[in-house]
Amino acid sequence: MDTNQTANISEQLRDIKPLLEIPDSSYYIYWGLIGFSIFLGVVILFFIAKKLWDNRKVNLAKGYLESIKKIDWKDTKKSAYEATHYARLLATDERRKELFSQLELMLEQYKYKKEVEEIDQDTKNKFNLYVQVADESV
């Protein structure tokens, strides 16, 4: 090789710059995506669980309503306890709570005595009104 060619190669080598360090944020992006996915999964599970819980409440209310409709007033004392129990469980809005408080006062006369007479017509009418209101809202 001649000196001219060696000088030419040296000139070319001087023009080569050292390697630049490229910032790599893929590690942070990776963990950010994993964190976001976990967060999104938790949010989705929350809404699914909330929907299932609301449906469960509706199904329970329907069951309570069916039970309260099946009350047989032949055994007045037992029926008064059942009516109070299921009516209390169904009293979730203001109107039903108000009707329940009125009905509960009327049913108390049949609950705490050893022997009770048959249910009077006013109490039965109030009970039927409560069942009708509960049926409309469930």
| Sign of the dihedral defined by the CA atoms of residues 42, 44, 46, 48, in that order | negative
pLDDT for res 6: 67
Q: Residues 62-71: pLDDT tens digits?
A: 888 899 999 8
**Where do the structural domains in the chain lie, given as residue ranges?**
57-137
| Sign of the dihedral defined by the CA atoms of residues 99, 102, 105, 111, in that order | negative
pLDDT for res 1: 55
pTM, 2 dp: 0.61
Confidence of residue 81 (pLDDT cuts 50, 70, 90): very high
Residue 120 dihedral angles phi and psi, to the nearest 5°: -80, 165
CB 84 within 8 A of CB 104: yes
Q: Residues 88-108: pLDDT tens digits?
A: 999 888 988 999 999 999 889
pLDDT for res 20: 81
